Amino acid sequence: MRIGDFVSRKGCGLRILVTAGPTCEDIDDVRCITNRSSGRMGLAVVAEALRRGHEVDLVLGPVEIAPPAGARVTRIRNARDLLAACQRLFPGCDALVAAAAVADYRPARRTAGKIKKSGDGLTLRLVPNPDVAALLGGMKRPEQTVVGFALETAASTQARANAEAKMAAKRQDFAVLNSPAALGAGEAEVSFLTAGGGWTGPEKLGKDAIAARILDFVEKRAAGTGSKS
């Protein structure tokens, strides 16, 4: 199926939920736990989906890049906000592209104001955040498509095994395997995993090209399942 054929044949596009950017887990009023996600990958998916004529709901963490015009944007700060927004939006969508980089832990207690520096050390007790991808995977209907990302630092064989386990546990249909080198960059070395279809790659691609591969898969699977909101 050529790019764009899905929209022209169906007469209208899919409704796609995209998560992008980091989450910030506040320690106090000025400090937080986060990661180096720029949001570029998720926003590239949004831009490509809009270009193809799809409706896009974007749940966006704190980023400096403006989202593409045309998406319905829900701004969030932390993992629990992200989960609540996605639980509200996902049932009405045909697909989810989970590109947000969610903090696995948050401070057990948020301090009001600013923690003052002293000569002593500071110990933070962290508690697990909800596993957003797993909880949304548990909500998935058969006709919905879920795309996930696996960022791994292990050697390639172990990285692929980790990504396969994550896909199965979180009921994902397609996964993009990358490394920390992708954070904030315009391109990344990626491999693609399709449930039941195995691996392709690795190959170095710009994030626009990665987004196009993701949308190709989403459209192809939607055409095969008859998915329509």
Summarised one tens digit per residue, pLDDT across range 167-207 is 999 999 999 998 777 776 677 889 999 988 899 878 999 99
| 1 band by pLDDT with thresholds 50, 70 and 90 | very low
Task: Return the pLDDT at 185.
Answer: 67
Task: Return the pLDDT at 9.
Answer: 38
Question: What is the homologous superfamily of the domain 5-105+125-224 according to CATH?
Answer: CoaB-like (3.40.50.10300)
Question: Averaged over 50-70, what is the pLDDT?
Answer: 96
| CA separation for the pair 23, 79 (Å, rounded) | 6
pTM above 0.75, yes or no: yes
Give the active site residue among 35, 78, 129, 162: 35
Contact (CB, 8 A) for 11 and 32: no
| CA separation for the pair 72, 70 (Å, rounded) | 7
**What's the chain's average pLDDT?**
90
Q: Strand pairing of 198-206 and 174-178?
A: unpaired
pLDDT at 15 over 50: yes
Task: Return the pLDDT at 153.
Answer: 84
Interval 94-131: pLDDT, tens: 999 999 999 999 999 999 999 998 878 889 999 999 99
Instruction: DSSP letter for 180, please.
Output: G
pLDDT at 5 over 80: no
Tokens at 35, concatenated? 């990661």
pLDDT at 3 over 70: no
Task: Return the pLDDT at 228.
Answer: 53
Beta strands in the chain (DSSP E): 15-20, 25-26, 32-33, 55-60, 72-75, 95-98, 105-107, 126-128, 145-151, 174-178, 187-194, 198-206
Question: Averaged over 50-65, what is the pLDDT?
Answer: 97
Angle between helices 132-139 and 79-89 (to 10 degrees): 10
Task: Return the pLDDT at 4.
Answer: 47
78 is known as an active-site residue: no
Tokens at 183, concatenated? 């954070």
pLDDT at 32 over 80: yes
Task: Return the pLDDT at 12.
Answer: 56
pLDDT at 229 over 70: no
Strand partners, 96: 17, 146
